[in-house]
Amino acid sequence: MISELFSNVRDHSKSPIDGFAALQVYAKTNKIQTVISDSGVGIANSLRRVLKERYPEIYQEFKTVNAANDALLIKRVFEQGRISSAKHNPDESRGLGLKRSGDIAAKFNAKIHIRQESFALTLIYSEGKLADHEVSYGLQKLCGSHICFDFSLD
């Protein structure tokens, strides 16, 4: 999961500034948190660049550019995958990295927090599946993608 996200930063962020990755154990709360952060274009913006041409049906669903649609687009990618902004996409496995990360989070009933330019999306997994999601809008501008995985050791 972590290496997949490292690859995403390298392949998609388009940032001249190095990204950041960390793994930390919190003994008092019995949790592990993994953080991957970059200052690039953001997941939604990266995908929007190719939606109309490569994924016209998905483009129609999300063609209105706003934070609500961007959050739902990212949620879709974590649930279903199969959307990639990679320049050359002949491999059908492209676009599965975030989905695989979501599948691992589901296996461990984790939470995934995804911060984008002006919103934050939290995916909440329980009993091995996505149980709920929450979105906060109108946040202070923050460039890039910032993804935190919270795993409980209980």
Domain residue ranges of the chain, discontinuous segments joined by + = 2-152
Q: Would you say residue 14 has pLDDT above 90?
A: no
Give the 3-state DSSP-derived string for the chain, with helices as H, strands as E and coil as C.
CHHHHHHHHHHHCCCCCCCEEEEEEECCCCEEEEEEECCCCCHHHHHHHHHHHHCHHHHHHHCCCCHHHHHHHHHHHHHHCCCCCCCCCCCCCCCCHHHHHHHHHHHCCCEEEEECCCCEEEEEEECCEEEEEEEECCCCCCCCCEEEEEEECC
Q: Would you say residue 111 has pLDDT above 90?
A: yes
Q: How far is CA 104 from the centre of its chain?
A: 13
Which of the pair, 126 or 8, is modelled with greater confidence? 126
Which of the pair, 14 or 133, is modelled with greater confidence? 133
pLDDT of residue 12: 54
Q: Would you say residue 99 has pLDDT above 80?
A: yes
pLDDT digits (tens, 9 = 90+) for 66-92: 999 999 999 999 999 988 887 765 555
Q: Calculate mean pLDDT across residues 117-146.
A: 96
Q: Which fold has domain 2-152?
A: Heat Shock Protein 90 (3.30.565)
pLDDT of residue 140: 97
pTM score above 0.85: yes
